[in-house]
Amino acid sequence: MNNLALFIVGFFISLIVIGVVGLLFYAAVLDGRYEREQEANRLPDNS
């Protein structure tokens, strides 16, 4: 493989990795929102 082909392959692999990390970060944000929502809906424990 020449240098240009390696650069192009590496560039697209980097885009895929950045996209996946972004999706994981977004999922973590949504999970935090869901957790806070569930915590707000719980009844207080009066024991």
DSSP string over 13-26: HHHHHHHHHHHHHH
Residue with more model confidence, 45 or 35: 35
Q: Say what the pLDDT of residue 38 is.
A: 80
* pTM for this predicted structure: 0.67
> What mean pLDDT comes out for the span 35-39?
80
Higher pLDDT, 40 or 30: 30
d(CA 18, CA 9): 14
CA–CA distances in Å: residue 38 to residues 23, 26, 27, 34, 45: 22, 18, 16, 6, 15
**Phi, psi angles (nearest 5°) of residue 38:** -65, -40
pLDDT at residue 47 greater than cutoff 60: no
